[in-house]
Amino acid sequence: MNLLLVDSSELQGGNAVTLRDRRADHLRDVLHVTVGQQVRAGIVDGPMGTAVVEAVADDGITVRLEIRGPPTPRPCVDLLLALPRPKVMRRLWAQLSALGIDRILLVRAARVERNYFDTHVLQPAVYRPLLLEGLQQAMDTALPRVSVHRQLKPLVEDHLGALFPSGARLIADPSATRPVRKPILDARAERAVLAIGPEGGWTRYELDLFARHGFLAVSTGHRTLRSDTACIVLLGLLHDALAHGLSARQPV
Amino acid sequence: MNLLLVDSSELQGGNAVTLRDRRADHLRDVLHVTVGQQVRAGIVDGPMGTAVVEAVADDGITVRLEIRGPPTPRPCVDLLLALPRPKVMRRLWAQLSALGIDRILLVRAARVERNYFDTHVLQPAVYRPLLLEGLQQAMDTALPRVSVHRQLKPLVEDHLGALFPSGARLIADPSATRPVRKPILDARAERAVLAIGPEGGWTRYELDLFARHGFLAVSTGHRTLRSDTACIVLLGLLHDALAHGLSARQPV
């Protein structure tokens, strides 16, 4: 935990909060905090600053937040992900928020089993703590906005324009030869949405649907990676390309 | 399993082998192979070709290999990794071989707990099947060469020259601002070794030791990632940079 995240609902009027969950355990058992100590802290979807430890007790740790200013900027990457197996999805949540995603759209695809959507891994009570864990690791406050879509076609045909009005549209396809960075640098894109398919891949119909809506096929190279590994590599490459484009645009 | 991998020791003189392990389960239950069917196959550390199914029985599947030619080229990336927690290391094995690593050197660092080295996750009987699983996913035959080093200083001071005579030397450091691609493209490197530290980071002494031996500090950007996520992102960026450099050198 590199950043202590507090939800604004935990602050009852004032700026002090008594933590009694895993955050308190971490402050006590890993950071060994003492009264008066400062730690980096942030408000979920808000700004960052510091928290001053006011009391350390067996049943909780009280901190006073000194946090002002504007919220941290939201990440410039959206992810449209064919829902993976529940076990894989559980592993991904914290990694996705750590990597930095604005919107996570979990979609049904032809090769996604319908019962994957019945899992408790899609319940906010399960995934929200995992997303917060990733943010506390990566020192960010911007909680990804998660939505679940059981029908791909209406999502792509009717809603993508409003969801992603600008920026590059990419789709991961192991058979593609275009590197992730190319469409980003070519278009001088400042943000991007990336579609990642299921373990068995997108169908021809799905690939055509995305292509008709401006998605350019990209790949990590010649190796076929497991879906969760591919997801992490692709998001790493995408963030790198966006940062690279940004630095190329700004005078050094 | 996108490639059926067979060890040369399984071929008793001829080119047929009867599989009775998870490979047989996969051929039967996932690929539903029938007699006469061909699947992509390779010899561990050897060439790739096809396997023809000769018999499908309850207790095993017999295939005849049609594989000739030179071995697949070995990956151009070496990894020097401060040994992570056993649970993390277990998760990493298959992902590392899938991403493509020539040598994996697992090292002790000041912030690595000594008892991590006593885990069975470091026994070849445990990690070899996991490495093979990654190769079968990524369609490669080149098994990473694994070594374990309980002392960092003699390794870096006395053995790196022989192990890594050429290529770029990089060290991941979250506080660095140099992107992974820069030293690769600057030096037109065709291969690289990447050192990745423990969860608590390298010590100042360790960073200086690596710096004195030509390791340039690189990072993924501004976010602090969990060690296994960082490892996957960094290796993805490194492979991408090496492929990028290669394509820039060759006429299109």
Start-to-end C-alpha separation, chain A: 33
Minimum-distance CB partner of A240 among B100, B235, B237: B237
Q: Do A237 and B232 touch (CB under 8 A)?
A: no
Tens-place pLDDT, residues A53-110:
999 998 899 999 999 989 989 999 999 999 999 999 999 999 999 999 999 999 999 9
**Beta-ladder partners of A218:** A172
Q: Which two tokens stand for residue A101?
A: 């995603």
Pairs across A and B, CB distance < 8 A: 90
Q: Which residues in B lie closer than 8 A to residue A180 (C-beta atoms)?
A: 240
User: Which pLDDT score is estimated for B252?
Assistant: 41
Q: Do A229 and B98 touch (CB under 8 A)?
A: yes
Q: Which residues in B lie closer than 8 A to residue A94 (C-beta atoms)?
A: 226
Report the residue of B88, B178, B240 to disrupt the A interface, i.e. the one with the largest count of A CBs within 10 Å: B240
Write the secondary structure of chain A as one string of H (helix), E (strand) and C (coil): CCCEEECHHHCCCCCEEEECCHHHHHHHHHCCCCCCCEEEEEECCCCEEEEEEEEEECCEEEEEEECCCCCCCCCCEEEEEECCCHHHHHHHHHHHHHHCCCEEEEECCCCCCHHHHHCHHHCHHHHHHHHHHHHHHHCCCCCCEEEEECCHHHHHHHHHHHHCCCCEEEEECCCCCCECHHHHHHCCCCCEEEEECCCCCCCHHHHHHHHHCCCEEEECCCCCCCHHHHHHHHHHHHHHHHHHHHHHHCCC
> With contact defined as beta carbons under 8 Å apart, do B138 and B40 qualify?
no
Lowest-confidence pick of A11-15, B75-79, B132-136? A11-15
User: Which pLDDT score is estimated for A13?
Assistant: 73
pLDDT of A251 above 60? no
How many helices and strands (H and E) does chain B possess? 8, 11
Q: Which backbone phi and psi does A160 adopt, to 5 degrees?
A: -65, -35
Q: Is the pTM of this model over 0.80?
A: yes
The nearest alpha carbon in chain A to B3 belongs to A224
Share of chain B above pLDDT 70, in %: 98
Cβ-Cβ contacts under 8 Å for B108 (sequence gap 6 or more):
B82, B83, B114, B117, B149, B150, B151, B152
Nearest to A207 by CA among A215, B212, A199, A129: A215
User: Which pLDDT score is estimated for B248?
Assistant: 67
Give residue B100's region: left, alpha or beta (phi > 0; psi -120 to 50).
left
Q: Do B220 and A236 touch (CB under 8 A)?
A: yes
Nearest to A39 by CA among A143, A144, A139: A139
| Cα four-point dihedral sign B174, B138, A76, A45 | negative
pLDDT of B72 above 80? yes
User: HSE on the CB side for A46, CA within 13 Å?
Assistant: 17
The nearest alpha carbon in chain B to A181 belongs to B240
Nearest to A240 by CA among A137, A146, A100, A105: A100
Which whole number is the average pLDDT over A215-224?
A: 89
> With contact defined as beta carbons under 8 Å apart, do A179 and A63 qualify?
no
User: Which pLDDT score is estimated for A250?
Assistant: 55
Residue B12 is which amino acid? Q
- Supply the mean pLDDT for chain A: 93
Give residue A105's region: left, alpha or beta (phi > 0; psi -120 to 50).
beta
What CA–CA distance (Å, rounded) separates B207 from A209? 49
Confidence tier at B3 by pLDDT (50, 70, 90) = very high
Tens-place pLDDT, residues B156-192:
999 999 999 999 999 999 889 999 999 999 999 999 9
**Side-by-side strand order, sheet with B38-43:** B4-6, B38-43, B48-57, B60-66, B16-19
Rounded to a whole number of angstroms, the distance from the CA of A94 to the nearest CA of chain B is 9
Q: Do A179 and B225 touch (CB under 8 A)?
A: no
Rounded to a whole number of angstroms, the distance from the CA of A149 to the nearest CA of chain B is 27
Rounded to a whole number of angstroms, the distance from the CA of B128 to the nearest CA of chain A is 18
Q: Do B137 and A226 touch (CB under 8 A)?
A: yes
Which whole number is the average pLDDT over B119-130?
A: 96
> With contact defined as beta carbons under 8 Å apart, do B39 and B30 qualify?
no
DSSP 8-state code for residue B237: H
Which whole number is the average pLDDT over B124-128?
A: 97
Q: Which residues in A lie closer than 8 A to residue B239 (C-beta atoms)?
A: 220-221
- Supply the mean pLDDT for chain B: 93
Confidence tier at A1 by pLDDT (50, 70, 90) = confident
Residue B247 is which amino acid? S
Tens-place pLDDT, residues B18-69:
999 999 999 999 999 999 999 999 999 999 999 999 999 988 999 999 999 8
User: Which pLDDT score is estimated for B12?
Assistant: 75
Q: Do A233 and B236 touch (CB under 8 A)?
A: yes
Report the residue of B30, B233, B252 to disrupt the A interface, i.e. the one with the largest count of A CBs within 10 Å: B233
Lowest-confidence pick of A215-219, B12-16, B79-83? B12-16
pLDDT of A148 above 50? yes
What CA–CA distance (Å, rounded) separates A185 from A175? 21
Rounded to a whole number of angstroms, the distance from the CA of B233 to the nearest CA of chain A is 5
Q: Do B237 and A232 touch (CB under 8 A)?
A: no
What CA–CA distance (Å, rounded) separates B221 from B217? 12
pLDDT of B250 above 70? no
Q: Do B99 and A225 touch (CB under 8 A)?
A: yes
Lowest-confidence pick of A89-98, A237-246, B80-89, B234-243? A237-246
ipTM: 0.92
What CA–CA distance (Å, rounded) separates A60 from A24? 6
